[in-house]
Chains A and B, each alone.
Chain A
Amino acid sequence: MSAALEVTGLGVRYRRTWALRDCSLSVPAGRVAALVGPNGAGKTTLMHTAVGLLRATEGSVRVAGEAAFVAQDKPLYDDFTVAEMLTFGLRTNRRWDGEAAAARLAGLGIPLKRKVGGLSGGQQAQVAVTLALASRPDLLVLDEPLANLDPLARHDVMRTIMAETAGRELTVLLSSHVVSDLEETCDWLIVLNGGRMQVSGDIEELLDDHLVLTGPVGASEAGMRVVSAGRTDRQVGLLVRGAPSPDPRWQARRPGLEELVMGYLRNPESTAMPALTGVRP
């Protein structure tokens, strides 16, 4: 499978502060990748670098084909009508499928004559995503596309994006704070924390490869790769990668996506980069 986005040893420095350091990842074409991490983790910096808005201080970012970007503040011109935004897109993009865009907006019931400033937040998000898709990108990068949207609008925006990925080979990279928003839609997970890459891999494989263990204090942890641990006086809860220890006192189950993400974020030293095997020494 060819990579749609390949990041190698990437570092980005603002003045004296490194926003990203030593990041490597590879997202296969056709995937919907979730980029998660706390505020200040470097998510926006990584996306800006991927779409060419920022230059790498060290290392490299390679996108196979064209990238389109929807910034967090949904940059539209409030005084433009939706139709004028489409014309603007036509004049400023090399590739442009205005017909599909107009049809999609009509299907969503968004009037082309309405000024962008007069649309609801959900409609503005739809217009921004539709404009990005109209440039027929190979990689669609969305910074917090679901922030500030009500549940119905969130569902509608994701429907638009998912339908596009079903129709043609499009790779999507989207960031979000809310992991539960991503559970049904994403099949690749990237966890960034403090400017460093913690996880990059296929979500199903990651979930299959981890276990949540609970057991009494003193149960053997020998030989296990512990991602994170929570302990009380009597009980231990672990997120482990790979096989559990044979101690029968452990109760094991598959983690949910949110548990997996939280487990890594709680322990920034843990990493799981299965997709990078063989990519770097």
Chain B
Amino acid sequence: MFCLIEFTLDRSSGVSTYLQLAHQVKQALRLGTLRPGDQLPTAREVVESLAINPNTVLKAYRELEREGLVEGRPGMGTFVRQGVAGPTLADHTRVRRGLEAWVRDARAAGLDQEDLRVLFAVVIADLAKEDVA
């Protein structure tokens, strides 16, 4: 079967393997590379490429299931649930272009990468506060 997502492992990250797998699925949902109805690779497929314990894959999928992102269909596999809406591809592209313009602007103003990260985090935090208030 053609796999929609290819897992990778950072063995030096200290993050447990199942969390890394779950995180990569969420990332793919956010980026729109995985969409509702898509099938996740089977435990066997993941195991054959990463040489990890199959239970680790099942644990990652259980975690995603608990969070309501995917569902296991007995005998068929694990699928992204309907109604799990990531941003549409068009929105994604538009927002990304805006962000690229912003990054160029900030660089031109002399901000380095670390400045950008801090600024970005501060703005996100501030807006989150406004939403609550």
Contacts and interface: CB of A to CB of B under 8 A. Distances in A.
Interface of A: 32, 155-156, 158-159, 162-163, 165-167, 184-187
Interface residues of B, dominant DSSP:
helix
A218 to B, nearest CB: 30
A163 B9 contact: no
A158 B51 contact: yes
A159 B49 contact: yes
Which of B42, B49, B51, B55 gathers the greatest number of chain A CB atoms within 10 Å? B51
A163 B53 CA distance: 9
Contacts of B55: 187
Contacts of A159: 47-51
B52 interface: yes
A133 B48 CA distance: 16
A184 B44 contact: no
B86 interface: no
Contact of A162 (B11, B17, B42, B52): B52
Given A167-B44, A184-B9, A184-B11, A162 B49 contact: no
Nearest to A157: B51
A184 B53 contact: yes
Interface in B33-61: 42-44, 47-57
The winner among A159, A162, A167, A185 for most chain B CB atoms within 10 A is A162
Nearest to A162: B47
Instruction: Please report whether the interface of chain A is mostly helix, strand, loop or mixed according to DSSP.
Output: helix
A185 B54 CA distance: 8
Contacts, number: 44
Interface in B2-27: 9, 11, 17
A236 to B, nearest CB: 23
A226 B42 CA distance: 41
Given A184-B9, A184-B17, A163 B52 contact: no
Contacts of A32: 53
Contacts of B43: 166
A185 B53 contact: yes
Contacts of A167: 44
Given A165-B47, A184-B17, 17 more contacts: A155-B51, A156-B51, A159-B48, A159-B49, A159-B50, A159-B51, A162-B47, A163-B47, A163-B48, A166-B57, A184-B50, A184-B52, A184-B56, A185-B51, A185-B53, A186-B53, A187-B55
B17 A165 contact: no
B48 A187 contact: no
A165 B54 contact: yes
Interface in B47-80: 47-57
16 contacts: A156-B51, A158-B51, A159-B48, A159-B49, A159-B51, A162-B47, A162-B48, A162-B51, A162-B52, A163-B48, A166-B47, A166-B57, A184-B51, A184-B56, A185-B51, A187-B55
A140 to B, nearest CB: 14
A92 to B, nearest CB: 29
A122 B80 CA distance: 38
Interface string B75-93: 0000000000000000000
B52 A185 contact: yes
A275 B57 CA distance: 23
Contacts of B52: 162, 184-185
Nearest to B43: A166
Nearest to A107: B48
A165 B46 CA distance: 12
Given A184-B9, A184-B17, A184-B56, A166 B44 contact: yes
A33 to B, nearest CB: 11
